[in-house]
Amino acid sequence: MRFVKFFIFVLGFSLVLSCGEKKAEVKPEEKPVEKKEVETKKVEQEDTSFNTVMRILKEALDNEKTASDSATKLNTAKAYILVIKFLNNDKEKVKQSGMTDRDIAELKQDARENATVRLNEILSSPTAPKAIKDEAQSKLNELKSL
């Protein structure tokens, strides 16, 4: 009788464990959903429309008049990168303004030069925080691909 009880106990316990395991398997499936949300947020932040890009560029350049720290330089570099993306993406405005291929290439080169100068200053700065240096490096890599 004891053996039967022990057998039922083991059987029940193993069932509980196996059910528990099933629940544990569900959890990892939820994590990728969270990742997807983060990715969509990143895409939403990358607004390269005319008004947004001009507002961000103006704010960044105005801030640079009063501050010269690495975070401010990084923001300005990001604004210049947005200008390049605007020139690449907003074909309608670019066409309306009558820009030639040469104009576009020159303006993109101007923005690239301005961004590169700032990112290199951050990377060579002994006082810039590591997180900002890392972001500056990733932006420099992004800049090369634009």
| Single-letter amino acid code for the residue at 103 | D
CB nearer other proteins, residue 53 or residue 122? 53
**Taking the mean position of all CA atoms in its chain, how far away is CA 94?**
25
Dist CA 42 CA 23 (whole Å): 31
Dist CA 132 CA 18 (whole Å): 47
Site string for other proteins, 3-42 (x = CB under 8 A): ----------------------------------------
Site string for other proteins, 110-129 (x = CB under 8 A): xx--x---------------
Identified binder of other proteins from the candidate list 56, 77, 78, 80, rule CB under 8 A = 80
**Taking the mean position of all CA atoms in its chain, how far away is CA 69?**
21
CB nearer other proteins, residue 87 or residue 128? 87
Residue with tokens 């290199």: 120
**Taking the mean position of all CA atoms in its chain, how far away is CA 19?**
39
Binding site for other proteins (CB under 8 A): 54, 57-58, 61, 80, 83, 93, 96-99, 103, 106-107, 110-111, 114
